[in-house]
Structure 1
Amino acid sequence: AYLRHLMLAAIELNPKIPIVMHLDHGNAPETCFSAIEQGFTSVMMDGSLSEDGKTPSSYEYNAKITREVVEAAHAKGVSVEGELGALGGIEDGHGAGLSEEEAQKHLTDPDQAEQFVADTGVDALALAIGTSHGAYKFKRKPTGEVLKMDLIEDIHRRLPNTHLVMHGSSSVPQELLDIINAHGGAMKQTYGVPIEEIQRGIANGVRKVNVDTDNRLAITGAIRKVLHEDPAEFDLRTYLTPAREAMKEVCKIRMIAFGQAGNAGKVPVKTCKQMVSFYKGK
């Protein structure tokens, strides 16, 4: 309820911006049902992992529980994202913790993706293409050997009306790592998903890009800078203000690069009630 009212406040302050309240990585149908009852307008049923949020699941388990969520969500006009394959890393305790090499064994299969959408009726599908949650995604700048953008192109050709999703898509800019390390940090060398590869994905059906680590890096760098330059500082307002501005700048740069900036007014807004009618007509 607390989160819902934060979002309602954001909507009230920004009435011209279309806003979706989305649940990320729901680990069980009950989690998604709870979010729907709280007013979320979009949920993700991540059945790619078992309910513990760590163990890769079977196709049958994934399709069964995702279909269960789709049926309940669409009855309320709520859209559903599913996931097929498994990403590397861990995010907020969720994830199989796969290494870069292990993630290559759990990529999304294009044939299975077609079947999954047919079996579940999901609106959006998150793909495993070699990316990972967290900052340590790739040991070197990724090429087609480890970042399988060709999978996105293949799946988009097969499923042109399904919104594709890229998780673990922070770019991990070197300049943000440098700011952290210049002010007492000890970040190891690492590489993220290049902006141009995300743009390639967008040109091939990707309609949702999950970026979190870049924001965390920007915030951490700004806070470290303030405290490194003035170790006596203790007022959180002194360091959270530049931290927030640093994160806003990352968001701005990404929104421009992804082609979404300036397009809020062009997005047709549909209520959940209207979406109920849409789903009934499918």
Structure 2
Amino acid sequence: MSFVNGNKIFADARKGHYAVGAFNTNNLEWTRAILKGAQEKNVPVLIQSSMGAAKYMGDYQLVRNMVEQVMRSMNITVPVIMHLDHGNYEAAKEAIAAGYTSVMFDGHDLPFEENYAKTKEIVELAHSKNISVEAEVGSIGGEEDGIIGAGELADVEEAKKIADLGVDYLACGIGNIHGQYPANWQGLNFDRLQELADVIKTPLVLHGGSGIPQDQVVKAIKMGVAKLNINTECQLAFAAATRKYIEAGKDQEGKGFDPRKLLAPGTDAITDTVKEIIDWMGTPAIG
């Protein structure tokens, strides 16, 4: 199966009050693990690369081609969206040129007028090529590839103006952050989410999904969140499983140092994490 864009998948999720997972890939193992989880649960999935991950792996073209070839070799039959996560203006255009089927232009750190103008340009360019666009209003807390946000709440009027540009899904700050959540985190602001959902029918995106209590995520999904971003949770699962393997001395038994063996426990842990999160997002199986 070839890549699809996210338009119908996420519009259906918003209407059906469930979410579809957006999982960051960092390498071949990550890609295989995510696709395996989605295929075993028989649900659509969005695989995304950040700017930093794409640079680490080579470039956007390499990442796109790698995911496509892994899909082919694994005989993946579920719909897969190839997405750029938190791309700046230049990265969004590069990912569009490389053949991604969905891009996020993150202009939250720009003056609103500039964010609006550049989002409008990216929407027009992407839609001319049948590519979905995600935009952002209101900073997501924490740090993502050098883009740092304090986690302020999205302004409802600004969010409505960006949504009216025709973006296909919209990320709005509602108190969520990237990375691990601190002990003093106050939780999601559901009052602001309700205000946003009342005036915006575009599928909403919850970034920083790793670490938010499950009950809060489920509530947010029922209120209009259709796309849930997951990265840190998979990283932590991978690290824990790899640490366990090494601390048990498995890497010193026979050819346990072989990277195919060394990375296998962590890769399996990512798949398990993906499947667990799919379950509580309520993503329905295809067919």
User: Structure 2 length normalisation: TM-score?
Assistant: 0.72
Q: Report the Cα offset of residue 82 of structure 1.
A: 0.2
- Provide TM-score, normalisation by structure 1: 0.74
Confirm or deny: 8 A CA contact 1:11 1:17 kept in the other structure: no
Provide Cα deviations, 1:27-50, integer angstroms capped at 9, x if missing partner: 11x32122112111111000112x
Select 1:241's aligned residue among 261, 264, 267: 264
Given candidates 92, 99, 105, the residue that maps to 1:32 is 92
**Counterparts of 1:70 and 1:97 in 2: how far apart (Å)?**
23
Task: Confirm or deny that 1:129 pairs with 2:189.
Answer: no
Bigger drift between 231-240 and 73-82 goes to 231-240
SS in 2 for 1:139: coil
Q: Aligned partners of 2:68 and 2:237: how far apart in 1?
A: 26
Quote how far apart the aligned CAs of 1:153 are. 2.1
8 Å CA contact 1:125, 1:164 repeated in 2:
yes
CA contact (8 A) 1:87 1:95 kept: no
3-state SS of paired residue (2:205): strand
Q: Does 1:85 align with 2:85?
A: no
Residue ranges of structure 1 left out of the alignment (5+ in a row): 50-56, 172-192, 266-282
Determine which structure has the larger strand proportion and give its number. Answer: 2
Of 122, 127, 134 in structure 2, the residue corresponding to residue 74 of structure 1 is 127
TM-aligned CA deviation for residue 9 of structure 1 = 1.9
| Per-residue deviation, residues 143-194 of structure 1 (Å, max 9, x unmatched) | xx4421222222111112x0100001102xxxxxxxxxxxxxxxxxxxxx01
Q: Are 2:207 and 1:167 equivalent residues in the alignment?
A: yes
Name the SS of the counterpart of 1:210 in structure 2. strand
Structure 2: gaps spanning 5 or more residues: 1-60
Whole-Å separation in 2 of the counterparts to 1:7 and 1:239: 22
Aligned letter for 1:155?
Answer: L
**Which structure has the larger Rg?**
1
Match of 1:204 among 206, 223, 228: 223
Q: Determine what percentage of the aligned residue pairs are the same residue.
A: 36
- Matches of 1:139 and 1:237, distance apart in 2: 37
Counterpart position of 2:155? 109
1:164·1:207 contact (CA, 8 Å) conserved in 2? yes
Are the counterparts in 1 of residues 119 and 162 from structure 2 also a CA contact under 8 Å? no
Q: Could you tell me how far apart the structure 1 residues matched to 2:282 and 2:187 are?
A: 25
The one-letter code matched in structure 2 to 1:212 is: N
Q: Which runs of structure 2 are paired with 1:25-64 in the superposition (5 Å)?
A: 25-28=86-89, 30-49=90-109, 57-64=110-117
Q: Residue 114 of structure 1: SS of its match in structure 2? A: helix
Distance in 1 between residues matched to 2:243 and 2:146, nearest whole Å: 27
**Contact kept in structure 2, 1:83 and 1:125, CA below 8 Å:** yes
What is the aligned partner in structure 1 of residue 66 from structure 2? 6
Q: Distance in 1 between matches of 2:70 and 2:258?
A: 26
2:79 matched to which residue of 1?
A: 18
